[in-house]
Amino acid sequence: MTATSAGANWAGNLNYRASRVVRPTSIDELREVLAGDGPFRVLGSRHSFNDIADTEGTLIETADLPVTIDASSAPGAVRIEGSPRYGELASALHAGGLALGNLASLPHISVAGAVATGTHGSGDRIGSLASAVRAIAFITATGESRTLSRGDADFAGAVVNLGALGVVTALELDVEPTYDVAQTVYERPSWDAVLAEYDAVTALGSSVSVFTTWASTDRADQLWVKRRLPVESDAAAASAALIARLGATEATVARHPLPGMVADACTAQLGEPGPWHERLPHFRLDFTPSAGEELQSEYLVPRADAVAALEAMRGLAAHIAPLLQVCEVRSVRADDLWLSPAYGTDVVGIHFTWKREQAAVEALLPTIEAALPETARPHWGKVFTVDADEVRRRYPRWADFAALRERFDPEGRFRNAYTARLGL
Ligand X SMILES: Cc1cc2nc3c(=O)[nH]c(=O)nc-3n(C[C@H](O)[C@H](O)[C@H](O)COP(=O)(O)OP(=O)(O)OC[C@H]3O[C@@H](n4cnc5c(N)ncnc54)[C@H](O)[C@@H]3O)c2cc1C
Q: Is 299 helix (H, G, I), strand (E, B) or coil?
A: strand
Q: How far is the CB of 135 from ligand X (least distance, A)?
A: 14
CB nearer to ligand X: give 52 or 148.
52
CB nearer to ligand X: give 189 or 257.
257
Give the residues across from 328 on adjacent strands: 211, 351
Q: How far is the CB of 92 from ligand X (least distance, A)?
A: 18
Nearest-angstrom CA–CA distance, 48 and 336 = 23
Q: Is 372 helix (H, G, I), strand (E, B) or coil?
A: coil
- Point out which residues bind ligand X (CB under 6 A): 10, 41-48, 52-53, 62, 83, 104-106, 109-110, 112-114, 116-117, 119-120, 162-163, 167-168, 289, 296, 379, 381
| Maximum Cα interatomic distance, the chain, rounded to a whole number of Å | 63
- Of 291, 286, 287, 251, nearest in space to 271 by CA: 251
CB nearer to ligand X: give 18 or 251.
18
Q: Which contacts (CB < 8 Å, 24+ apart) does range 236-240 have?
A: 239/204, 239/205
CB nearer to ligand X: give 97 or 410.
410
CB nearer to ligand X: give 140 or 269.
140
Q: How far is the CB of 120 from ligand X (least distance, A)?
A: 4
Q: How far is the CB of 281 from ligand X (least distance, A)?
A: 8
Q: How far is the CB of 354 from ligand X (least distance, A)?
A: 12
Helix, strand, coil % over all residues of the chain, rounded to 5: 30, 25, 45
CB nearer to ligand X: give 92 or 168.
168
CB 297 within 8 A of CB 365: yes
Length of the chain: 424
Q: How far is the CB of 240 from ligand X (least distance, A)?
A: 28
